Structure 1
Amino acid sequence: MKQDILTLYSITGGPGAGKTTLLDELNKNGMITVPEEGRKIIKEQMESGGEGLPWMNKELFAHLMFEESAKTYRKINQMIHSEPIFFDRGILDTLGYMRLENIPIPELMKTKAREMVYHHNVFILPPWKEIYENDPERQQTFEKAILTFECMKRIYQEYGYNIVEVPKAAVKNRVRFILDTISYNN
């Protein structure tokens, strides 16, 4: 039996805005969370000497990320859960990345993105300079993080999602904001 799509939530935004920290805290609060595919792909490509890295071959990276995101979505969507599931980035994040990097988006990807839907409310974390840090998998500048945020916001809106901006606050307050929002809207 297929899961009710209304319980699948995407949390998006630019890099370094606190998404992974937020997802970890949601998980500690008993919520089901799905990690970001991009970091996993970067680690795998770095370990194997592959070229599918955003600083080496952006198009290959985007295709790998889309395929992994779609595979994970299908797997999660087949599970039966009554509680919400939170994704660290959704399918549309790959399309947003491709647009940001001027990579042509194949029609098949656009079609799949329309088919693999999340709850109509998408949580977006704004750029937050005070917490922004680079690491081996995150090599973008803060300016690029701002551009990514704007691009993600636009692409989700173009696909008909309602953007809910999560306030810059302590992670426990961000969790409370999200849980209060989904309780109010369900």
Structure 2
Amino acid sequence: MAAPLRTVVTGGPGTGKSTLIDALAARGLATEPEVARAILREPGGMALRRDDPQGFAGAMFDAELAAYRRAEEGGSPIVYDRGFPDIVGFLRLEGLPVPAPIDEACRNLRYDGPVFRAPPWRAIYRRDDERIQDWDDARASDAAVCAAWRDYGYAPVDLPLAGVADRVAFVLAHMDAAAGEGD
């Protein structure tokens, strides 16, 4: 049996990734939400991020690994809100080393679908309880995670700065094209 198609939406905070993931789920696609947000919403999650960024990265890795493995159970295409290289980008931004298990996952547990980048988009950027970065920090985060994806051999495809329906159509067209290449 062929490996399931694992597609990713990456980019800095506040670029419409989760909104796009929700819209794709509403269209019937299997999706995985952003693990960092889930951790931040847990009791002590914000403190973990603030006080122990390495521990926060470890928690993200554990959750991302579980999400990656769920694809093997379902066997259908899945769209992820971020992936392993996003953790590397976070660690680099924090000036921290990348633990070997995270580096190994980035090298060996591959996403085989398109990797979409939601570029910084000032018009939609908003801070919230979990999105604590200011605009400049959000842009730096985007640069760090995109560099990490490229360092691990991916070529992120920029999403258009357009409404959700247009972004959904863009993603679906690229996923269809990628599926056709595998035939």
Aligned residue runs from structure 1 range 32-181, under 5 A: 32-44=30-42, 47-48=43-44, 51-53=47-49, 55-81=50-76, 84-119=77-112, 121-181=114-174
Change (3 A) 1:49 1:152: closer
Normalised by the length of structure 2, the TM-score is 0.91
Q: Distance in 2 between matches of 1:25 and 1:152?
A: 23
Normalised by the length of structure 1, the TM-score is 0.90
Q: Distance in 1 between matches of 2:78 and 2:45?
A: 33
- Percent identity, please: 35
The question of whether the paired residues in 2 share the 8 Å contact of 1:16 and 1:132 is answered with yes
Q: Distance in 2 between matches of 1:135 and 1:49?
A: 15
Superposed CA deviations along residues 61-83 of structure 1, whole A, max 9, x for unmatched, are 111111111122112223222xx
Could you tell me which amino acid in structure 1 is paired with residue 163 of structure 2? Answer: A
Unaligned runs of 5+ in 2: none
Q: Distance in 2 between matches of 1:168 and 1:77?
A: 32
Change (3 A) 1:65 1:49: closer
Unaligned runs of 5+ in 1: none
RMSD: 1.6
- Of 104-113 and 9-18, deviating more is 104-113
**1:13 and 2:11 correspond:** yes
